[in-house]
Amino acid sequence: MSITREPRRPVGRPAAATRDEVLAAARRAFIEGRRIEVRAIAAEFGASRATMYRWFGSREGLLAEVILGEMAALFDRADANTSSRGAARVLDSLDTVNRWLIDSPPLRAFLAAEPTGLQVMTSSSGLVHPGVVRIAAAYLERVAAEDDFRPPIEITTLAYAMVRLGEAFVHDDSPAGMRHEIGRLREVHSALLGLAR
């Protein structure tokens, strides 16, 4: 007779989710146009609120990770859809990203459901805007390395200007009437890149 015991099978609730699983659940909610609720996601996976806040810092931290993940994917897809090179590649990709943002049902649902959604997206002191600037700067650096693209101004400054202009034309509802004037935005980006005639 063996003296070893069979390992006990766990009983009760399964182990809590990983950080990546929680992030994937939040992303699904965003894509489906549902409000991202930290408490509901924590309950779904048996994670404590303390764990959620340790992973993401705050609800805004979770929102930012979801949105920035989507923005990075947008830049990658836009770049894959252009055959241009150098400054023209940057311009075409930015144009594609901005058109997708305007037509994005998840983003429209997010901004409609979140009273502070626009602030979350565009505040310099928040997490999303600086993150989008970093994504844009990384993209500019990539094009510079791959296409010998020489930005007309320092890359971080160029990325910041492009993102801020994009926010104004995509989200702005001021009396200046720039919202959704993507053709005009392309013209301004073209001038920044030194492509304007």
Q: What is the DSSP string of 130-184?
A: HHHHHHHHHHHHHHHHHH----SS-HHHHHHHHHHHHHHHHH--STT--TT-HHH
Q: So what's the architecture of 60-192 in CATH?
A: Orthogonal Bundle (1.10)
| 176 — pLDDT class (breaks 50, 70, 90) | low
Residue scoring higher pLDDT (67 or 11): 67
Using CA atoms, how far apart are residues 54 and 73, in angstroms rounded to an integer? 25
Residue with tokens 């805004």: 60
Mean pLDDT for the stretch of residues 158-177: 82
Q: What dihedral angle (degrees, nearest 10) is formed by the CA atoms of 82, 85, 90, 93?
A: 0
Give the global pTM: 0.86
Residues whose CB is less than 8 angstroms from the CB of residue 176 and which lie 6 or more positions away in sequence, other chains included = none
User: How many Å separate Cα 167 from the centre of its chain?
Assistant: 13
- The overall longest dimension of the chain from CA atoms, in Å, is 89
Residue 2 has pLDDT above 90, yes or no: no
Model pLDDT for residues 95-132, shown as the tens digit of each residue: 999 999 998 999 999 998 898 999 999 999 999 999 99
Sign of CA dihedral 189, 194, 135, 133: negative
Using CA atoms, how far apart are residues 187 and 196, in angstroms rounded to an integer? 7
Residue 47 has pLDDT above 50, yes or no: yes
* DSSP state, residue 10: P
Residues 194, 152 contacting (CB under 8 angstroms): yes
In 3D space, the residue among 77, 85, 83 whose CA is nearest the CA of residue 104 turns out to be: 77
